[in-house]
């Protein structure tokens, strides 16, 4: 089924209110129908794909969970339950819409098998973006028409209570556990109990580290809060932009406690409305009387933390093999565009039988070993080789074969290069990013990379060719992602085994993993690995 078929299906289902139209105003009817159809289509396709390809079920479950969060499906379900209690006929009519949606979407994977390869792209089609409708139903269930309510004046900072995210996690889980769970109605009751407990706090202050856009998480040394904070709305654009600018830095946010979503594993998100960024020095006292009983987990390393002092990480003399594996697959997104999914890994196999999955761009020689072993234990494995087959075993005893591995080799001493290597990746929506290194025999290198600029063209797509542009085709598409002016840097380089040392004009030094494939004995290999990714010789370039 093409994207057009899915859109047509959604439009037809959204208009199938039937008897529902007799029970409520037309606007809410269409909103309920569209959200219901979207949920059923998404879940039905995922279930059908899982039956065809069970191995990728976890990835689809993650994509479905992300779509549900982005479209506020949990709160829609709660709100619909409230409306159905007021108007019982809504439930039967919703079941009718669900039956139609299942019948029309169950055959999608059989008709278009590639949809199962990337359901996240399917979830991105406009027909499945139902946040406005879900929000309108929530507002209706809360007792008002689906219009923007008057915003109360923000409380003075001195009157606010500051809570930690582990405190909120404890409050929510205790409220959940006080309600019997299991069946769907009981589970909804648990969700409502958690929301009531959070909303009862009123206006609050939460401090932590800004992690991007409208989010914040609490960091405590090697641990982080299980909960993340997300702002549903901001008091003004200045506060929104201010939080975005603080990514990776401490921040404090004041807002009205709204709701919480917890996964089965316990992680989740607490939501605030009318967020405002507090200036430094305006931090209220922490709330007393609310305990922390958990709510923390190991914090993943950032690249800056993972990279230690040069040469103080894994000793090359202790390395038995450096193995590169890759899985490049051409796939289709939900808009009819082809794209490449790149999965590349490097495993450092040590002589003592241990192994490390190196997922960083810097050399393994610079890894902060103490932090890595403490904070990313899942990357540390055991390895064994029998008849040319390498098997990796994790700390829990699970094992897997390192398939299609290619051995990497260091460069000879005093290597000087005169060659151009190129990297290209075409992602979802046809978005292209490319990078290159042009080495010269005089010890200089030009490092170049594209910068993304979004653009829109009218009509059925665009025919854009040549360096700097990536067409986003498809019969329904009028979008094109254009790559703006290239960023270039003139650097000095030095090759030290499998380390590339780059020095800028101002003296700044960057170290990158840089290896060649052991199977390529040419003086200048066609492909190399730089920063964990394959670069290749571009036709027409030396």
Sheet arrangement for strand 479-483: 452-456, 479-483, 469-471
C-alpha of 460 from chain center: 29
Cα dihedral: 204, 210, 211, 213 (round 10): 80
Quick one: pLDDT at residue 10? Answer: 53
pTM confidence score: 0.59
In angstroms, rounded to a whole number, what is the distance separating the alpha carbons of residues 374 and 525? 37
Element (H, E) at 442: none
Confidence grade of residue 426 (pLDDT, cut at 50, 70, 90): low
Quick one: pLDDT at residue 152? Answer: 53
Burial class of residue 246 (count of CB atoms within 10 Å of its CB; 0-12, 13-18, 19+): middle
Best CA proximity match to 269, nearest among 220, 232, 241, 228: 228
Is residue 355 within 8 Å of residue 347, measured between CB atoms?
yes
pLDDT at residue 311 tops 90: yes
Each residue's pLDDT tens digit, 287-310:
777 888 889 988 889 899 999 999
Best CA proximity match to 217, nearest among 243, 198, 256: 243
C-alpha of 290 from chain center: 32
Domains and CATH numbers, the chain: 3-141 (no CATH), 157-298 (2.40.50), 303-409 (no CATH), 420-537 (no CATH)
Confidence grade of residue 368 (pLDDT, cut at 50, 70, 90): very high
pLDDT at residue 392 tops 90: yes
Element (H, E) at 519: none
Collapsing DSSP states into helix, strand and coil, what is residue 276? strand
The mean pLDDT value of the chain amounts to 80
Is residue 112 within 8 Å of residue 9, measured between CB atoms?
no
By DSSP bridging, strand 479-483 and strand 509-517 are: unpaired
Half-sphere exposure of 435 (CA within 13 A, CB side): 11
Q: Is 18 left (phi over 0), alpha (psi -120 to 50) or beta?
A: left
What percentage of residues in the chain have a pLDDT greater than 70?
A: 79
Top pLDDT among 17 and 390 is at: 390
Best CA proximity match to 378, nearest among 301, 477, 476, 473: 301
Mean pLDDT of 492-507: 96
pLDDT at residue 6 tops 50: no
Burial class of residue 524 (count of CB atoms within 10 Å of its CB; 0-12, 13-18, 19+): middle
Each residue's pLDDT tens digit, 41-95:
888 998 888 888 888 888 888 788 878 888 888 888 888 888 887 787 777 778 8
pLDDT at residue 270 tops 70: yes
Task: Write the DSSP string, 78-135.
Answer: HHHHHHHHH-THHHHHHHHHHHHHHHHHTTHHHH-GGGGG-HHHHHTSGGG--HHHHH
pLDDT at residue 478 tops 50: no
Half-sphere exposure of 540 (CA within 13 A, CB side): 0
pLDDT at residue 248 tops 90: no
Cα separations in angstroms, 372 against 366, 395, 461: 11, 15, 46
pLDDT at residue 391 tops 90: yes
DSSP secondary structure letter of residue 368? -
pLDDT at residue 265 tops 90: no
């Amino acid at each position: 089924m093409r994207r057009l078929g899915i859109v047509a299906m959604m439009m037809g289902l959204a208009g199938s209110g039937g008897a529902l139209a007799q029970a409520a105003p037309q606007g809410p009817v269409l909103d309920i129908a569209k959200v219901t159809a979207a949920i059923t289509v998404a879940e039905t396709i995922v279930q059908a794909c899982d039956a065809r390809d069970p191995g990728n079920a976890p990835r689809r479950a993650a994509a479905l969970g992300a779509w549900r969060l982005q479209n506020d499906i949990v709160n829609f379900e709660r709100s619909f339950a409230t409306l159905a209690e007021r108007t019982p006929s809504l439930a039967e009519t919703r079941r009718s819409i669900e039956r139609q949606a299942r019948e029309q979407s169950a055959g999608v994977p059989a008709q278009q098998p590639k949809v199962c390869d990337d359901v996240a792209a399917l979830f991105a089609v406009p027909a499945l973006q139902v946040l406005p409708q879900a929000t309108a139903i929530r507002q209706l269930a809360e007792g008002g028409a689906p219009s923007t309510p008057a915003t109360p004046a923000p409380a003075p900072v001195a009157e606010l209570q500051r809570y930690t995210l582990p405190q909120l996690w404890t409050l929510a889980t205790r409220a959940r556990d006080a309600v019997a769970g299991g069946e769907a109605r009981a589970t909804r009751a648990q969700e409502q109990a958690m929301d009531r407990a959070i909303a009862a706090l009123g206006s609050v202050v939460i401090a932590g580290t800004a992690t991007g856009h409208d989010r914040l998480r609490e960091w405590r040394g090697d641990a982080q809060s299980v909960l993340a904070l997300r702002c549903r709305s901001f008091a003004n654009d200045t506060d929104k932009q201010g939080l975005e600018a603080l990514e990776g830095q401490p921040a404090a946010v004041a807002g009205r406690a709204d709701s919480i979503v917890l996964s089965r594993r316990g992680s989740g998100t607490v939501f605030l409305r009318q967020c405002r960024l507090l200036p430094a020095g305006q931090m209220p006292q922490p709330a007393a009387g609310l305990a922390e009983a958990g709510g923390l987990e190991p914090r993943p390393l950032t690249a800056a933390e993972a990279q230690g002092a040069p040469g103080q990480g894994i000793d090359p003399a202790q390395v038995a093999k450096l193995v590169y594996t890759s899985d490049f697959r051409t796939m289709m997104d939900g808009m009819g565009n082809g794209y490449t999914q790149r999965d590349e890994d490097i495993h450092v196999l040590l002589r003592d039988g241990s192994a490390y999955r190196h997922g960083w761009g810097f050399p393994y020689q610079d890894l902060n070993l103490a932090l890595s072993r403490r904070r990313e234990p899942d990357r540390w494995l055991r390895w064994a080789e029998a008849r040319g087959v390498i098997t990796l075993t994790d700390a829990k005893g699970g094992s897997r074969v390192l398939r299609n591995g290619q051995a990497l080799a260091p460069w000879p001493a005093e290597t000087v290069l005169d060659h151009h290597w190129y990297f290209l990746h075409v992602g979802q929506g046809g978005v292209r990013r490319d990078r290159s290194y042009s080495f010269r025999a005089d010890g200089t290198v030009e490092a170049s990379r594209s910068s993304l600029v979004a653009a829109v063209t009218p009509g059925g797509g665009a025919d854009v060719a040549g360096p700097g542009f990536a067409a986003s085709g498809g019969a329904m598409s009028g979008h094109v992602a254009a790559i703006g002016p290239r960023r270039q840097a003139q650097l000095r380089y030095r090759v030290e085994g499998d380390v590339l040392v780059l020095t800028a004009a101002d003296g700044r030094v960057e170290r990158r993993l840089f290896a060649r494939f052991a199977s390529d004995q040419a003086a200048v290999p066609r492909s190399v690995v730089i920063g964990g990714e394959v670069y290749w010789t571009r036709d027409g370039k030396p």
